[in-house]
Amino acid sequence: MKIIECAIIGSGPAGYTAAIYASRANLNPVLIQGIQPGGQLTTTNDVENYPGYPSGVTGPKMMEDFQKQAERFGTKVIFGTVTKVELTQKKGGVHKLIVDNKEEILAKTVIISTGASAKYLGLPSEQKFMGSGVSACAVCDGFFFKNQDVVVVGGGDSAAEEATYLANLCNKVYLLVRSDKMRASKIMQKRVFDTKNLELLFNHETVEVMGDNTVNQIKVKDTKLNELKIIKATGFFLAIGHNPNTEIFKNQLDMDEVGYLITKPDSSLTNLPGVFASGDAQDSIYRQAITAAGSGCMAALDAERYLAGLH
Task: Give the nearest distance from C-beta 148 to ligand NDP in angstroms.
Answer: 22
Residue 76 or 183: the one with the smaller Cβ distance to ligand NDP is 183
| Annotated active-site residue in 65, 100, 140, 256 | 140
Task: Judge whether 261 and 272 are in contact, CB under 8 Å.
Answer: no
Q: What is the rounded CA–CA span in Å between residue 307 and residue 89?
A: 15
Phi first, then psi, for residue 187 (nearest 5°) are: -65, -35
Task: Judge whether 185 and 104 are in contact, CB under 8 Å.
Answer: no
24 binds ligand NDP (CB under 6 A): no
Closest residue to ligand NDP in the complex (CB): 156
Residue 49 or 89: the one with the smaller Cβ distance to ligand NDP is 49
240 binds ligand NDP (CB under 6 A): yes
Site for ligand NDP in 84-143 (CB under 6 A): 121
Sequence-separated (6 or more) residues with CB below 8 Å from residue 32: 7, 8, 9, 10, 11, 78, 80, 81, 82, 97, 99, 105
Which segment (31-39, 52-60, 158-166, 226-234) binds ligand NDP by CB under 6 A? 158-166
Number of residues counted as binding ligand NDP (CB under 6 A): 18
Strands 227-232 and 46-47: unpaired
302 binds ligand NDP (CB under 6 A): no
**Interacting residue with ligand NDP among 24, 61, 219, 287 (CB under 6 A):** 287
Q: What is the rounded CA–CA span in Å between residue 187 and residue 74?
A: 40
Task: Give the nearest distance from C-beta 232 to ligand NDP in angstroms.
Answer: 20
Active site residue 149: no
Alpha helices in the chain (DSSP H): 13-24, 59-72, 124-128, 138-141, 157-169, 186-193, 289-308
**Interacting residue with ligand NDP among 42, 158, 263, 295 (CB under 6 A):** 158
161 binds ligand NDP (CB under 6 A): yes
- Give the burial class of 104: count Cβ atoms within 10 A of its Cβ; 0-12 exposed, 13-18 middle, 19 or more buried: exposed
Task: Give the nearest distance from C-beta 82 to ligand NDP in angstroms.
Answer: 24
191 binds ligand NDP (CB under 6 A): no
Residue 49 or 214: the one with the smaller Cβ distance to ligand NDP is 49
Task: Give the nearest distance from C-beta 49 to ligand NDP in angstroms.
Answer: 5
Q: Which of 243, 202, 199 is nearest to 225 (CA)?
A: 202
159 binds ligand NDP (CB under 6 A): yes
Residue 153 or 255: the one with the smaller Cβ distance to ligand NDP is 153
Active site residue 141: yes
Sheet architecture: strand order including 235-238: 134-135, 235-238, 149-153, 172-176, 198-201
Task: Give the nearest distance from C-beta 298 to ligand NDP in angstroms.
Answer: 19
**Interacting residue with ligand NDP among 111, 153, 167, 173 (CB under 6 A):** 153
Task: Judge whether 279 and 14 are in contact, CB under 8 Å.
Answer: yes
Sequence-separated (6 or more) residues with CB below 8 Å from residue 172: 149, 150, 197, 198, 199
**Interacting residue with ligand NDP among 183, 199, 223, 252 (CB under 6 A):** 183
Strands 95-99 and 103-112: antiparallel
Q: What type of residue is 213?
A: N
Question: Interface with ligand NDP by CB under 6 A: which residues?
Answer: 49, 121, 153-159, 161, 178-179, 183, 239-242, 287
Residues with catalytic annotation? 137, 140-141
